[in-house]
Homo-oligomer: A and B are copies of this chain.
Amino acid sequence: MKPSIRILLLAALCLLVSSAISQNNKSKAGETEIKALYDRWAKAFEARDLDGIMTLYAPGDEVVAYDISPPLQYRGKEAYRKHYSDFLSLFDGPLHVEFRDMRVVSSGDVGFLYALERVSGKMKNGQSMDMWLRATSGVQKINGKWLIVHDHISVPTDFDTGKSLLTLQP
C-alpha cells in the first residue's frame, strides 16, 4: 500500500470514529438541553407568562397539541396560544408544577419526553386545582434551538362511570 493511501484510510477511520463519538455526545447534550427547555417551560407556566411559554414552541403549523380539554386536537401555534391564554386566565396568582418519573430521549435534532406532572393553583372562582396529569412532548432542534412541536396531556378514563380520573396520584 502506498503511504498516501495508508494516510487517507487512517484519516477516514479517524473521521468515522470521531463522528460516532460526536453523535453520542450530541445525544447526551440534546437530552440536557431538552431538560433545560422544560425547566424554562415550568418557570414560565408557574409565572403565567404566556409569551414566555409560547417562545418555547415551534412556529406556525408545526405545533399540534392534544390537551386535557377539548377539542381532540389544537392545530397550529395560534390556536394553542389562545387555549393557553384561556387556561391561564382561570387562575389567581402563580401556578405550581412538579414533574415525576421524567424521561428524556433524543438523537440528532429530534427528541421526546414524558413525565407525570402535578399542576396546582388557586382559581379565580375560589376553587383550588391540584391534579396529576400525564404529559408527553415531541421536540425538534429548529435553526439550532430546541422547540416543542407536539404536546399530549391527559388523565385516564373510568369506563364504568364515563368519568375522567382527576384525583389519581402516582
Residues of A within 8 A of B (CB): 3-4, 7-8, 11-12, 15-16, 19, 23, 27, 64, 66-73, 101, 103, 105-112, 114, 116, 132, 134, 136, 138, 140, 149-150, 152, 154-159, 162-166, 168-170
Contact = CB atoms under 8 A, between A and B. Distances in A.
A73 B103 CA distance: 13
A156 B114 contact: no
Given A138-B112, A154-B66, A132 B72 contact: yes
A130 to B, nearest CB: 14
A73 B165 CA distance: 13
Given A64-B103, A73-B170, A101-B73, A136 B156 contact: no
A113 B119 CA distance: 25
B12 A138 contact: no
Contact of A156 (B67, B108, B112, B165): B67
A158 to B, nearest CB: 7
Contacts of A11: 8, 11-12
A159 B119 CA distance: 15
A138 B112 CA distance: 7
A169 B66 CA distance: 13
B134 A73 contact: yes
Contacts of A23: 108
